[in-house]
Chains A and B, each alone.
Chain A
Amino acid sequence: MKIVACIKQVPDSAAKVVVENGRVFWGDAPLVINPWDEFAVEAALQLKEKHGGTLTVISVGGENEKEAIKHALAMGADDAILIADPALSGLDTQSIAQVLASAIQKIGGVDVAFFGRQAIDSDSGLTPAQTARLLNWPALTLAAVISVEADTIKVDRAIEEGRQVVSAKMPAVVSLVKDYGEPRYPSFMGIRKAARAEVPVWSLANLGISAPTSVIAWPEITNPPSRNVVCEIITGSSPEEIAATLADKILAEKVL
Chain B
Amino acid sequence: MDFSLTEEHLMTERMVQNFTQKEILPVIKEYDRKQEPIPFALQRLGELGILGICIPVRYGGQGMDFISLGLACEGLEAADTSLRVAMSVHVGLCALTLLQWGSEEQKQKYLVPLASGQKLGCGVFTEPGMGSDVASMSTSAKRDGDFYILNGEKMWISLASKADYAMVTVRTNPGAARPSNRLSTFIVDLNMPGITRGDIHGKLGVRAGSTGWINFQDARVPVENRIGEEGEGFKITMSAFDHGRYTVASGAAGIVRAALEASVRYAKERTSFGKPIAEHQLIQEKIARMSQDYEIARLLYLRAGWLKNQGVRNTLETSFAKKFATEASFRAADDAIQIHGAYGYSDEYDVERYLRNARGAIIYEGSSEIQTLIQAGYALGERQEKPLRCEMPAYDPDYWQS
Per-position 1/0 for A18-46, Cβ under 8 A of B:
00000000000000000000000000000
| Distance of A71 Cα from B15 Cα, bound (Å) | 9
| Distance of A192 Cα from B398 Cα, bound (Å) | 12
Q: Indicate whether A61 reaches chain B with its CB closer than 8 angstroms.
A: no
Q: Which of B7, B14, B19, B62 contacts A188 (CB 8 A)?
A: B62
**Interface range on chain B: under 10, 10 to 19, 20 to 34, or 35 or more?**
10 to 19
Contact check, A192 vs B63: say whether CB atoms are below 8 A apart: yes
| Distance of A187 Cα from B6 Cα, bound (Å) | 16
Q: Indicate whether A246 reaches chain B with its CB closer than 8 angstroms.
A: no
**Is the contact region of chain A dominated by helix, strand, or loop, or is it mixed?**
helix
Contact check, B64 vs A188: say whether CB atoms are below 8 A apart: yes
Chain B minimum-CB-distance residue to A194: B11
Q: Which of B8, B18, B22 contacts A191 (CB 8 A)?
A: B8
Q: B204 to nearest A CB, angstroms?
A: 32
Q: A183 to nearest B CB, angstroms?
A: 10
| Distance of A177 Cα from B169 Cα, bound (Å) | 53
Per-position 1/0 for B98-132, Cβ under 8 A of A:
00000000000000000000000000000000000
Contact check, B15 vs A191: say whether CB atoms are below 8 A apart: yes
Contact check, A187 vs B11: say whether CB atoms are below 8 A apart: no
Contact check, A188 vs B63: say whether CB atoms are below 8 A apart: yes
Contact check, A188 vs B18: say whether CB atoms are below 8 A apart: no
Q: Indicate whether A15 reaches chain B with its CB closer than 8 angstroms.
A: no
Per-position 1/0 for A66-81, Cβ under 8 A of B:
0000110010000000
Chain A residues contacting B7 (CB-CB under 8 Å) are 70, 194-195
Per the 8 Å Cβ criterion, residues 54-88 of A in contact with B are 70-71, 74
Chain A minimum-CB-distance residue to B11: A191
| Distance of A97 Cα from B8 Cα, bound (Å) | 32
Per-position 1/0 for A188-202, Cβ under 8 A of B:
110110110000000
Q: B105 to nearest A CB, angstroms?
A: 26
Contact check, A74 vs B11: say whether CB atoms are below 8 A apart: yes
| Distance of A195 Cα from B7 Cα, bound (Å) | 6
Contact check, A195 vs B11: say whether CB atoms are below 8 A apart: yes
Contact check, A186 vs B6: say whether CB atoms are below 8 A apart: no
Contact check, A186 vs B11: say whether CB atoms are below 8 A apart: yes
Q: Indicate whether B260 reaches chain A with its CB closer than 8 angstroms.
A: no
Chain B residues contacting A70 (CB-CB under 8 Å) are 7, 11
Known contacts: A191-B8, A191-B12, A195-B8. The answer to whether A185 contacts B19 by CB under 8 A is yes
Contact check, A188 vs B6: say whether CB atoms are below 8 A apart: no
Known contacts: A194-B11, A195-B11. The answer to whether A189 contacts B62 by CB under 8 A is yes
| Distance of A243 Cα from B82 Cα, bound (Å) | 39
| Distance of A194 Cα from B14 Cα, bound (Å) | 14
Contact check, A185 vs B53: say whether CB atoms are below 8 A apart: no
Q: Which of A185, A192, A195 contacts B48 (CB 8 A)?
A: A185
Per the 8 Å Cβ criterion, residues 54-92 of B in contact with A are 62-64, 68
Per the 8 Å Cβ criterion, residues 213-227 of A in contact with B are none
Contact check, B62 vs A185: say whether CB atoms are below 8 A apart: no
Q: Indicate whether B401 reaches chain A with its CB closer than 8 angstroms.
A: yes
| Distance of A71 Cα from B48 Cα, bound (Å) | 15
Q: Indicate whether B49 reaches chain A with its CB closer than 8 angstroms.
A: yes
Contact check, A185 vs B8: say whether CB atoms are below 8 A apart: no
| Distance of A195 Cα from B6 Cα, bound (Å) | 8
Chain B residues contacting A187 (CB-CB under 8 Å) are 48-49
| Distance of A182 Cα from B19 Cα, bound (Å) | 12
Q: A71, A182, A188, A194: which has the most chain B beta carbons within 10 Å?
A: A188
Chain A minimum-CB-distance residue to B8: A195
Contact check, A192 vs B401: say whether CB atoms are below 8 A apart: yes
Per-position 1/0 for B2-40, Cβ under 8 A of A:
000011100110110011001000000000000000000
| Distance of A188 Cα from B117 Cα, bound (Å) | 14
| Distance of A195 Cα from B12 Cα, bound (Å) | 11
| Distance of A194 Cα from B49 Cα, bound (Å) | 17
3 nearest CB pairs, A to B: A188-B62, A195-B7, A195-B8
**Can you list 8 pairs linking A and B with CB atoms under 8 Å apart?**
A182-B22, A185-B19, A185-B48, A186-B15, A187-B48, A188-B49, A191-B64, A195-B8
On B, residues with C-beta under 8 Å from A are: 6-8, 11-12, 14-15, 18-19, 22, 48-49, 53, 62-64, 68, 401
